[in-house]
Chains A and B, each alone.
Chain A
Amino acid sequence: MSRPLTILVLLAVAAPCVAQDPFSSLEIRVQATQNVNQNILHDHWHSGRGMKASLITPFYFGDWGISLGVHRFDARSDVPGFGALWISSDWGVKLPLGYRFALTPMIGIGNYRMSFDTAVTTFSGESSESDFVSSASLQASLRINRKWFLFGQAEYLRVQTRPLMQLWFVSAGIGYQMETGRLLKAILE
């Protein structure tokens, strides 16, 4: 829990350097994700591909956004497979590297919901479970034109189960930037 705090402090220190007009634009991102690491979770499940969609907008400091991700874990042993739906609120700082390139370190917090193929939980009979998730990521983006850009992302997910679920994802996707409409800006402000 102390590592996300450290990242938060570092980003907060860097953020005022890149203050901007909040909610002036909106980025829509879609990306394909793949879990790449191996740990005790992967002794019982192997990961399938996933998808993630995000909406990002300039904030008072840095950028803020929400993202929705899905991915699947199929059973390796005598356990049910599960699909994960992951929603998080993210914040980061875009660091331009020349005209077309930018690096964006981000952190996020949210909810990680697992829906199991078979309900065998005791007492409640519930077939799903939700847990707190925090994330840290680094995104590199390449602008194609004024509106479209390509990006790749490396992301670390820490789901606060006991034992911890620690997942590394790599992903690639495409994004579209547009002006925030008056109504949407009024809502966001």
Chain B
Amino acid sequence: MMLCWRRTLFCLLIAAGVGIIGACAQVLTAEDLTRAGVLRLSDILELADDWVGSSTEGYHWDIAPLGTSWEASPEWSLFIDGQLISLRALNRQSLNTLPIALSEICEVRLHATPVLIDGILAHGGAVQIVRCKPPKGLSLKGQIGAGNETGDPGPYKYTDLGGPNVDRTGPTVHGVLTGSSSSGYVRGMIAADEHHVTDPRIRSRVLQLYQGEKDARIIYRAFDFDAYFLGHTVSAATSRTEDLLFTPIMGREIPVDRETTFASMSSSRKLLGYSVSGSSTRLTTRENPESVSVDFVQRQARARLHTTISLGIPVLEFGVGTVLAQALFGTEQVRHTLHSFRGNATLSLGSPNRLRMRTMAALSLDDSILGYEMFARAWHERIGLDLRLMLRNRAPVSEMTFADWARRGLRPGNAELRFMHLGMPRQKSTYSLDITWTAGNRVKLYLSGGVRKLTDHVRPRIHATLDSSRTRLHTITDIVAANGQIARTSVRIHMPLSGQFTMKLYGAYAYPWSDADAFLGAWYHRVQIGGQGDYHPNDRFSLNMRLRYVGATTWPEFEDAAAGNPDFYAMRLPGTVYLHLTVQKRFWGERLRLSATMRNVLDRPHLAHPAGARTHALFQVAMHYAIRARNAGSS
């Protein structure tokens, strides 16, 4: 009887595995990021095997794990040093607004499937950023970079042959100063970045509201501070972005000042650990000729206590947490508040090289609505199987999405909203099953698949037409509840061909099915395949090549706009091949590192959004520096 059940379960897993991916996190180390010429945080999308993204201007990227999180309504979670940080504002979550510098980062873990991180369930996948522990002594490190997109008119701008100037990235600079001893460390960071928004496809729309002495651009400034002493970690960071916020809901770029701030304090002691954190996103509309306003403030305060009890092999962990969220919007900046409480218990069983299990159960109360979460993971490292099951049923307000605030009266830029159901669902459900199989020692094969069922997920569905000038969008947004399923599968082969040359091939595919257009229309990307080669004859020099094909995407909400002005809008974006090359070399010991990157080497202009700019080949150079005080010990 037991054997029969095992066979049934095994067959079920294989069947499910044909259509799933990425239960294992993809880990990008600081070395990976440098060798690939990553200049901005959003550039990690180029290295993410099963994440996809879109952008109108090439600076803010709406990224999502393929087949796990809505691209139009991001549900993935961001963790910095184990702390959950929300960047989400008006349904956008851009990594480039984060006050974190690349030189601080030790590792980025990309979870394309639901994952449990320190007792918190990231049901839509997660980006987990881990900052390095500084080396002992005093040190200064950082990066200076700039880029230039091909296709400028050059001298032809003085003749009738030349067109307008096009995007230029940077200068992108940051510096990180650290002081560290055996008992703790202190670190401070300052950063600045600039991105020009000049592509002819979006320029006329941008200039409707943009006012400035120079051409339209996004300007980013940030600093952060963190310290560790006596088992406690303290962190505070803020960024200010002179932004050109585009959301389809508002139909054009709105000049806003965006401030992103977070602070946290935590201790991970087993007997009683704690974390307290707060984050805030503030959008302040800059002066514009039509007095359009999108002023919006969203604040969250989180507190969590957890304890771990070890009973030999079984380990129990209990945690309780609360979230207080507030949003201020509208002409009178009315304050809207919601509370959430959650308690969880996690049981871990098993030892290395044997079957291991971890099960988490949580109860929550989101604005007096009871919900639950269950997450179970079973894995065997020697056999290479990893199975994850998630059941989640919580009130939509627990995620503080645009739809939640819209129900309370948010109308950014006087957006036209329609609620399609008078009684919007009080709870939304997500059920998912993911399986990963890993095989091989030297050549590694990862085969993964998963299926998700989503019920009563409230999301905006837009209908975009053109305004009278035929440049900006006139948008009506329906807030609808959608149900459906999505299956995904992926494969990744990692091949170290020699000690100097490593290759990786990967592919991912997602297939949604539902009766509801609102569900189907929200999953734009379906397929992505690619390869990466890394040649490093020694640790001083490397060549890195990334080749990726992103399948065609369809954006039904832009159908009318594309028909009205095909020069500025599209409904279907064709499949695109990207080839990026990076060469980097160390100089003067570990002190200097220069890299040159050519993005989109094939120079085939491509669109990453139906209302976005056309991107040409982009040449970027960067210099990394690291200076340490003499006689400083190693970390």
Instruction: Please give the residue numbers on chain A whose beta carbons come within 8 Å of chain B beta carbons, in ascending order.
Output: 1-2, 5, 40-41, 44-45, 60-61, 73, 79-80, 82, 89, 109, 111, 114, 116, 120-121, 123-124, 129-132, 159-163, 165, 186-189
Contact = CB atoms under 8 A, between A and B. Distances in A.
A123 B155 contact: no
Nearest to B163: A162
B150 A132 contact: yes
Contacts of A73: 155
Given A160-B619, A161-B155, A189-B587, 8 more contacts: A40-B161, A89-B596, A160-B617, A162-B152, A162-B153, A162-B156, A162-B163, A188-B587
Interface string B148-160: 1011111111110
Contacts of B162: 161-163
16 contacts: A5-B601, A40-B161, A41-B155, A44-B159, A60-B537, A79-B158, A109-B619, A124-B215, A129-B157, A130-B148, A131-B148, A132-B150, A159-B154, A160-B603, A160-B619, A163-B156
B588 interface: yes
Contacts of B214: 123-124
A80 B156 CA distance: 11
B602 interface: yes
Nearest to A2: B602
B126 to A, nearest CB: 36
Nearest to A111: B148
Contacts of B601: 1, 5
B619 A129 contact: no
Please indicate which of the listed interface residues A40, A60, A160 has the most CB atoms of chain B within 10 Å of its own CB: A160
B151 A161 contact: yes
A129 B154 contact: yes
Nearest to A133: B619
Contacts of B603: 1, 160
Interface in B577-620: 587-589, 596, 598, 601-603, 617, 619
A165 B154 contact: yes
B-side binding surface: helix, strand, loop or mixed?
loop
B154 A131 contact: yes
Contacts of A82: 155
Nearest to B602: A1
Contacts of A163: 156, 161-162
A187 B588 contact: yes
B150 A123 contact: no
A7 B65 CA distance: 38
A79 B155 contact: yes
A-side binding surface: helix, strand, loop or mixed?
mixed
A161 B154 contact: yes
B619 A161 contact: no
Contacts of B587: 187-189
B382 interface: no
B540 A189 contact: yes
B327 to A, nearest CB: 36
Contacts of B537: 60-61
B588 A129 contact: no
Contacts of B598: 109
A116 B158 CA distance: 10
A109 B538 CA distance: 23
B623 to A, nearest CB: 13
Interface residues of B, number: 31
A109 B601 CA distance: 12
B520 to A, nearest CB: 37
Contacts of B79: none
A110 to B, nearest CB: 9
B541 interface: yes
Contact of A186 (B152, B538, B589, B619): B589
A60 B586 CA distance: 13
Given A5-B601, A109-B619, A79 B152 contact: no
Contacts of A186: 588-589
Contacts of A189: 540, 587
A15 B232 CA distance: 53
Contacts of B617: 1, 132, 160
Contacts of A1: 601-603, 617
A85 to B, nearest CB: 14
Nearest to B161: A163
Interface string B115-150: 000000000000000000000000000000000101
Nearest to B586: A189
B152 A60 contact: no
A40 B163 CA distance: 15
A89 B587 CA distance: 15
A89 B214 CA distance: 31
Contacts of B148: 111, 130-132
Given A1-B602, A111-B148, A132-B619, A161 B158 contact: no
A5 B601 CA distance: 9
Contacts of A80: 158
Contacts of A5: 601
Nearest to A161: B154
Ranked nearest first, the 6 interchain pairs of A and B with the lowest CB-CB distance are A161-B154, A160-B150, A132-B619, A79-B158, A187-B588, A162-B151
Contacts of B540: 189
A186 B154 CA distance: 39
A120 B603 CA distance: 29
Nearest to A79: B158
Given A132-B148, A161-B152, A163-B156, A123 B215 contact: yes
Contact of B159 (A79, A89, A159): A79
A121 B157 contact: yes
Nearest to A77: B159
Please indicate which of the listed interface residues A73, A80, A123 has the most CB atoms of chain B within 10 Å of its own CB: A123
A80 B589 CA distance: 46
A2 B603 CA distance: 9
B242 to A, nearest CB: 16
